[in-house]
Amino acid sequence: MRQVDVHAHVIPPALVAAMHRGTAPDGITIETVAGEPWVVHRQGYRYPLQPSFHDVKTRLAAMDAQNIDVAVLSIAPPLFLYGLEKPDAAEAVRTTNDAIAEMVSVAPDRFVGLATLPMQDPPASVLELKRATSVLGLQGAQIGSHIEGTPLDDLSVRPVLEMASALGVPLLVHPYYVGSTAGLDDFYLTNLQGNPWQTAVCASRLILSGTLDALPNLDLILVHGGGHLPFQIGRLDHGYKVRPEASAPQHLPSSYLRRFHYDTLTHNVQATRWLVDQVGSDRVLLGTDMPFDMAGPGLEGQLDRSLETESDWAAIAHENAERLFTLPTNQRK
């Protein structure tokens, strides 16, 4: 059965070349660590530059090894560049999206692309989302769960969400950091617990602020299985009942769980099975986080197929992605 991976990151070759030259935006460079190249951000975050980030042949081989037929490519989240000044951000994002589209064109039967947006500049983001989808053929956008501290429910960001809704394209919401996070620097907790926490806070704000009520047709995909949100949704329901600060949405917070889509990447088969039970197989999509070291396997390693019906498996493996994205018609079977 075909598998479509909706959580798959890249650093396009053009951007890698700029890093090597020292001309990449925001001072991002490549350093050699124990004989291997690492991407280094000026704020302190660093990670190995796996060849499958940028080399199409290597990436396709990695996908084949996990029985993944199509990858929905999005930029590595540390490269959102939300700390840049607005004009610089808009220029850098256009260059990045052009490079993602070029990477897709190398293997259009295997890749679909998502744009990145200069979210610190909402008007520019609206224009870039329109350009990326209408001119470059990208199928939506990946955005951070916050923009250097500004939440997605802030009214300044609303035009971007409205444009995605109007265009009928999904937004993949991904945690974002490039430097230190107070209280989470030890043990890699910035990622291990900080990422699912960021997603839960972002989604909770979108519910409790009434943003989802205002944008009933907006499609949002939460990575890492929705983070902590599904497990703690009962706490939001209780707060909605007893706290006036949490009473703005029109319905119980739990009634909004199905307003989101979720990837499968919980790193625990039982947790992913529970997620499917909570939100329905029509709201869950395969996601691997390839090629970061926190990536997971293909769908066979994330769900127990013996517990899934054939229709549930098909929905999660490829049908939900086909509904959200315009996929090539000549994909492998």
Residue carrying structure tokens 């009473």 = 247
What are the b/e assignments for 145-157, b being 16+ CB within 10 Å? bbbeeebbbeeeb
Helix crossing, 229-242 with 194-208: angle to 10°?
A: 40
pLDDT at residue 328, as a whole number:
61
- Judged on CB neighbours under 10 Å (0-12, 13-18, 19+), 216 is exposed
Please compute the mean of the pLDDT values over residues 96-124 and round it to a whole number. Answer: 96
Q: What is the β-pairing status of strands 111-113 and 146-147?
A: unpaired
Is residue 307 predicted with pLDDT exceeding 80?
A: no
Token pair listed for 67:
């029985």
Distance CA 41, CA 60 (A): 27
Is residue 333 predicted with pLDDT exceeding 80?
A: no
CA end-to-end span of the chain? 7
Distance CA 294, CA 168 (A): 30
pLDDT at residue 124, as a whole number:
97
- Which of 5-19, 37-51, 107-121, 136-150 has the least mean pLDDT? 37-51
The answer to pTM > 0.85 is yes
Distance CA 163, CA 185 (A): 36
- Which of 145-154, 164-173, 183-192, 251-260 has the least mean pLDDT? 183-192
Token pair listed for 11:
């650093």
Is residue 63 predicted with pLDDT exceeding 70?
A: yes
